[in-house]
Structure 1
Amino acid sequence: MTDQLRAGIVGSGWMALVHTEALRRIGVEVVGMVGSTPERARAKAANPLLPPAVDSLDELLAIPGLSAVHVTSPNHVHAEQAAAALRAGVPVVCEKPLGVDSAETGRLEALAAETGLVNAVCFNLRHYPQNQNAAALVAAGEIGDPRFVTGSYLQDWLLLDTDWNWRLDASRQGSLRAVADIGSHWLDLTRFVIGRRVTAVFADLHTFITERNRPVGEVETFGASRVDRDAARVVEPMASDDAAGLLLRFEGGARGTASISQISAGRKNSTSWEIDGATSALAWTSEDPDRLWWGHRGRPNEVVEKDAATLTAVGAATANLPGGHVEGYADTFRAMFTAVYRDIAAGAPSARPDYPTFADGHDAVLVCEAVSASAARGTWAEVRREATTTTIQEEATR
């Protein structure tokens, strides 16, 4: 990237810091940040690792030479803020979920397509080198036809009734929580690796902690353990899912199961999958991200190390460090943003973007809606993928 690229950040929480650091690593200048209030943004901007504060999204979008906006705010304002940037002619990188329901994400997908601007959703787990490597192996037929997909995404940061974050507020998160927040990552990742979408789900959702003791005031994500035990608290009734079990059907006939939990003691951000193919199997875990297990029948199993000599060309292209140097969570953002800003520098999305787009974000919300429908009815629910028809002009008249 030769011309100086410039990004603005919407949101001032911990994801704003993650995005800012990754952007600076690839040489993008981060020129401004807007928070939920001007006062909050200015307070956060006192951290030298964050960009300077601006008072509004309009002010951010008016910064000369802005190459892209990164939306890292709470879920309920994602769609509104992403749409505003697109209408201002600015490419958008949006944290997941793209929106709180498929009506608004469908409109966003259509708006992005009509503007022709680069658009991306941060399903960053795709960009671990071994996940890229696995997807290339599956696509090349190295494990045969994918048959059975299993795995989990487990956390413990909402284990206690005193744990709190805005994600527990349905008006900001949406009614689906564990599945929408972290299950969506697992669902997108396995879809990416096997190259097939979920077509139907059977979901069992449960709220184990029916009342929580919310501290008065804002709590950062993963920050509940730092809240004073004697802080003033308010009892809040809970209805969103602490944990879920999912049965899945994929295109092409594959089947799957997933366990999703935010109350699994000792598991911080443990993501794992195993894909059983017709001839062999692959498995990966985020707790050992540089290794890919390759299972065989009739000969010894293999462990593929992250090394240019042993990865596919796709996997090697994603790796930024030599073998033996672990590439972790922060590196997935560097890898994803490198691909996104390559297209931004070129002036348009590539024919087949090497990153998740608004179309992927919309599809993830459709799957989450099927999860909710299944849990409510106690039956299988199909993922409804009607064509998006809303245009910019139709949306402007709403």
Structure 2
Amino acid sequence: MRAGIIGGGFMALVHARALRALGVEVAGVASSSQASAVMAAERIGATRAFPTVGELIASSDVEVVHVCSPNSTHATFAAQAVAAGKAVVCEKPLATTVEDALRLARAASEAGVPTAVPFVYRFYPVVREIRARVMRGDIGRPLLLHGSYLQDWLADPAETDWRVSSTLGGASRAFADIGVHWCDVVEFVTGQRITRLNAKMTTAFGSRGNEPESVETEDIVTMMFETDGQASGSLMVSQVSSGRKNRLAFSIDGEAGALAFNQEEPNTLWAGSTTENRIIHTGSSAMSLGDVQRLTLLPPGHPQGYQDAFNAFLADAYGRFEGLPVRDVPTFEDGLRAALLTDAVTRSSQLESWVDVSSLTRVAAPVSSVQAPVS
């Protein structure tokens, strides 16, 4: 299968590395202009620079379209790819509104087009180990889900980026960008859904850049929540926490024990009980069989990281695109779920009260367990 990438920034490079690891040809790239596409093609190793996005999507050389452009363009480009019958890997947010996310999920389902959204933290071996232990009942019923996703790339008000703009990035930044990752991975490992939440969105710096421009999107989100499994939870999201580079951390506290993960130390699992605490390393004999071992590429002491998780995500996504019975690949439905959570966080912050998360869990046309393979 051959891939085409829309966009030429950091995430396009991550996608291209994962595709090369799979042995998939990056047949082309399109960007905001022909000149930027040429530069992107050289940077990510694409075979061809397409003059326009439309030409990339229409090309017979491209069977899978990867949408890695600014957030405000995701819905448009993904819809065009679906209409062309191409498999689609779309960066999150799938869309900047619930309505657009719902339209995309329904369109892909009705067309039988296979899709994927890179909620890649699901693909760490330690995360799969936590899921296996929770599902086995090792820690009993989960009572408390808590943690944070902290970054510092915007801790200096002189720093700015297109993501800061509500026009290009959407009305929510910190939560839509990284908070949804935390929610996805915690819902994935527990099998529970957040049903109610109370959130506050805070903008730490009202202006940014050397030539200050006003900022409308949030830097910080604090959130309390409840789940359909009667668990309580709390989450802190920040892009202005000095020293925290990409710290997605969560703890699952159950009736009989606790489990914790920190993405800045992704090869260790913390397991706690009233009698002892243990640190378990990726690849050790204490890890589960099956999915955990499948995703464990190296012996203990040889660290795996974010790019490895991303590679595993794309390997499973492409397996599903080809009609294999691959489970747990996040799809447009998961992108819709993230949009619903973002909408609830925004409404809660505006109303300064608890709100229900929409119960919409499935698009109008049911999606089969194995989507149609790409022809």
Smaller-chain TM-score bracket: over 0.9
Q: Distance in 2 between matches of 1:173 and 1:111?
A: 23
The CA deviation string for residues 327-347 of structure 1, in whole angstroms up to 9 with x for no partner, is 10111111101101111222x
Q: How far apart are 1:389 and its partner, in Å?
A: 4.2
Q: How far apart are 1:47 and its partner, in Å?
A: 2.5
For the pair 1:384 / 2:358, whether they are aligned, the reply is yes
Contact 2:13 2:44 in 1 (8 A): no
What letter matches 1:277 in structure 2?
G
Q: From 171, 178, 181, give the equivalent of 1:182.
A: 178
SS of aligned partner of 1:253: coil
The CA deviation string for residues 300-355 of structure 1, in whole angstroms up to 9 with x for no partner, is 22222111632222211112222221110111111101101111222x7x4x7321
For the pair 1:334 / 2:311, whether they are aligned, the reply is yes
Residues 312-321 or 253-262, more deviating: 312-321
For the pair 1:82 / 2:58, whether they are aligned, the reply is no
Q: How far apart are 1:368 and its partner, in Å?
A: 0.7
Q: How far apart are 1:61 and its partner, in Å?
A: 2.2
Question: For 1:249-264, what aligned pairs fall within 5 Å after superposition?
Answer: 249-264=226-241
For the pair 1:45 / 2:19, whether they are aligned, the reply is no
Contact 2:78 2:90 in 1 (8 A): yes
The residue number in structure 2 matching 1:310 is 286
The CA deviation string for residues 171-192 of structure 1, in whole angstroms up to 9 with x for no partner, is 0111111111111111111111
Q: Distance in 2 between matches of 1:61 and 1:78?
A: 13
Question: For 1:7-26, what aligned pairs fall within 5 Å after superposition?
Answer: 7-26=3-22
SS of aligned partner of 1:246: strand
Question: For 1:1-398, what aligned pairs fall within 5 Å after superposition?
Answer: 5-47=1-43, 49-213=45-209, 233-298=210-275, 300-307=276-283, 309-312=285-288, 313-346=290-323, 350=325, 353-386=327-360, 388-389=363-364
- Runs of 4+ off more than 3 Å: 48-51, 386-391
What letter matches 2:333 in structure 1?
A
The CA deviation string for residues 125-171 of structure 1, in whole angstroms up to 9 with x for no partner, is 11111111111111111111111011111111111121010001100
Contact 1:182 1:260 in 2 (8 A): yes
Gaps of 5+ in 1: 214-232, 392-398
SS of aligned partner of 1:24: helix
Contact 1:10 1:34 in 2 (8 A): yes
Residues 363-372 or 314-323, more deviating: 314-323
What letter matches 2:13 in structure 1?
L
Q: How far apart are 1:119 and its partner, in Å?
A: 0.6
Q: Distance in 2 between matches of 1:87 and 1:40?
A: 26
Contact 1:21 1:49 in 2 (8 A): no
Q: How far apart are 1:43 and its partner, in Å?
A: 2.4
What letter matches 1:291 in structure 2?
T
Q: Distance in 2 between matches of 1:209 and 1:105?
A: 29
Q: Distance in 2 between matches of 1:68 and 1:243?
A: 35
SS of aligned partner of 2:200: strand
Q: How far apart are 1:52 and its partner, in Å?
A: 2.8
The CA deviation string for residues 91-127 of structure 1, in whole angstroms up to 9 with x for no partner, is 1111111000110101111111112221111111111
SS of aligned partner of 1:45: helix
Q: Distance in 1 between matches of 2:61 and 2:328?
A: 24
Gaps of 5+ in 2: 367-375
Q: How far apart are 1:278 and its partner, in Å?
A: 1.1
The CA deviation string for residues 186-230 of structure 1, in whole angstroms up to 9 with x for no partner, is 1111111111111111001111101112xxxxxxxxxxxxxxxxx
What letter matches 1:58 in structure 2?
G
SS of aligned partner of 1:354: coil
SS of aligned partner of 1:252: coil
What letter matches 1:125 in structure 2?
Y
Q: How far apart are 1:57 and its partner, in Å?
A: 2.1
Q: Distance in 2 between matches of 1:167 and 1:295?
A: 38
Q: Distance in 1 between matches of 2:47 and 2:262?
A: 33
| 1:55 to 1:17, Cα distance in 2 relative to 1, 3 A | same
Contact 1:179 1:260 in 2 (8 A): yes
Q: How far apart are 1:268 and its partner, in Å?
A: 0.8
Q: How far apart are 1:58 and its partner, in Å?
A: 2.3
Q: Distance in 2 between matches of 1:188 and 1:364?
A: 8
TM-score normalised by L of structure 1:
0.88
Give identity over the alignment, percent.
Answer: 38
| 1:48 to 1:195, Cα distance in 2 relative to 1, 3 A | closer
